[in-house]
Amino acid sequence: MTNEPFEFVDAHHHLWDLKSGIRYGWLTDKPFVGHPSGDYSAIMKDYLVTDLQREGAPVNLIKSVHIETADGEVDTVRETEWLQKVADEHGMPNGIIARVDLAADNAASELDRHRQYANFRGVRMLSFIGLDFLDDPAFRRGFNELQKRDLIYDMDAGWPQMGKAFDLARDFPRSTIILGHCGFPKQRTVPYFNEWRKGIQHLAKAPNVACKLSGLAMVDHEWTVETIRPWIEVCIEAFGPSRCMFGTNWPLDGLFSDYPTVVNAYREIVSGYSADEQRQLFRTTAEGWYRI
C-alpha cells in the first residue's frame, strides 16, 4: 500500500436552499408517501454545500457531483444556475446532473439552456416505480440529443429494466450512461438478490455504462458493512473498478448514519483491492466519467 493521502470524490449527493425560491415539493410539502427512505422529515431543512464540506472533511472530500433535487420546479435550469453559483463560490459541486424530460418536444433546447453553465454534465430522469420509457421513441429522440452533445445520462433503473437499459446503451454506443445506486435494489431477499445480480451482470456487458455504488441505506435502514458488502462486491466484479465509483447519497443516507462512517464502510469493503483500484473507486473513475 502507498502512503499517499486518501481522497474522496462523492459521485452522488444533493443540496438545497429552501429560501432560494427554487421549488422542492418533496421537502416543502408533506413528505412523499412511499419514499424508500421512509420518514425523512428530519432533512426537510436547508442542506448547503458548506454542510457537505464540513461532513466530508474527515474523509478528505475533494470533489463532488450533484444530482437533481428540485422535483417541483417548472424551470429546472434555475437549479443548475443556483448550483453553478454555489460551485463558483465554494469549489463544488464540480459536476451537475440536472432534470430534463428527454421525451418532451423541447428537450434539445432545454439541454442547450443547461449547457450555459460550466459544471453541467448531464441529465437524470427519476422514477421510483420503474423506467418503462427506455424504449419509448420520444425518449430515444431526446436521448439522441443528449448523445449528440456528449452529455451523461444518470440512469435510475432497477433490475427489471436492465434489459431495456442494455438495449439503450447498445443502440447508442457513443452515449455515456451511469447507473445510479447499484441499480436501486428495493428488497433484501435472496431471490431478489439473485435476479438483481443477473441484471447487473447483463448491463455490465455494455462498455459505455458505469455503476455508482451508493444509496443502499435507503432500503437497508439498519445497514452494516456486511449487509451492504454483497451488493457492492457484485457491482465491482461485474463492472470493474474503472467503471465503478462511490457516492454517499447525502443527506438522504444521513438519516441512517454519518458521512465518515459510510465512506469508511466502503473503504473496509474494498480494502483487499490494490491501491490503484481503490484510487479508481474513490476518486479517478468519478473524475473520468463525469469529466471533473
Amino acid at 211: C
155 neighbors 178 (Cβ within 8 angstroms): yes
**Nearest C-alpha neighbor of 101 from the set 121, 82, 126:** 126
Share of the chain above pLDDT 70, in %: 97
Which residue ranges form the domains of the chain, and what is each CATH number?
16-290 (3.20.20.140)
Residue with C-alpha cell 450533484? 66
CA atoms within a 13 Å half-sphere pointing along the CA-CB vector of 26: 16
Count of beta carbons in the 10 Å neighbourhood of residue 278? 19
DSSP H helical ranges for the chain: 25-28, 49-56, 77-90, 107-114, 137-148, 162-171, 190-203, 225-239, 259-269, 275-279, 285-290
Distance from CA of residue 45 to its chain's centroid? Answer: 21
pLDDT in tens, 171-199: 999 999 999 999 999 999 999 999 999 99
Average pLDDT value for the chain: 95
Could you tell me the three cell numbers for 194?
439473485
Looking at per-residue confidence, does 127 or 1 come out higher? Answer: 127
pLDDT surpassing 60 at residue 156: yes
Strand order in the sheet with 8-13: 8-13, 61-67, 95-99, 120-124, 152-155, 176-179, 209-213, 244-246
**Nearest C-alpha neighbor of 103 from the set 131, 139, 130, 136:** 139
**Interatomic CA distance for residues 98 and 102, integer angstroms:** 11
Q: Residue 128 has what pLDDT?
A: 54
Cα 52 to Cα 47, 49, 128, 142, 224, distances in angstroms: 8, 5, 25, 33, 22
Cβ burial, residue 59 (10 Å; 0-12/13-18/19+): buried
pLDDT bracket for residue 1 (50, 70, 90): very low
CA atoms within a 13 Å half-sphere pointing along the CA-CB vector of 61: 30
The mean per-residue pLDDT over the stretch 42-65 comes to 97
The mean per-residue pLDDT over the stretch 272-286 comes to 98
User: Which of 23-27, 134-138, 280-284 is modeled with the greatest confidence?
Assistant: 280-284
pLDDT surpassing 70 at residue 9: yes
pLDDT surpassing 70 at residue 130: no
**Interatomic CA distance for residues 242 and 278, integer angstroms:** 10
pLDDT in tens, 71-122: 889 999 999 999 999 999 999 999 999 999 999 999 999 999 999 999 999 9
**Interatomic CA distance for residues 119 and 275, integer angstroms:** 29
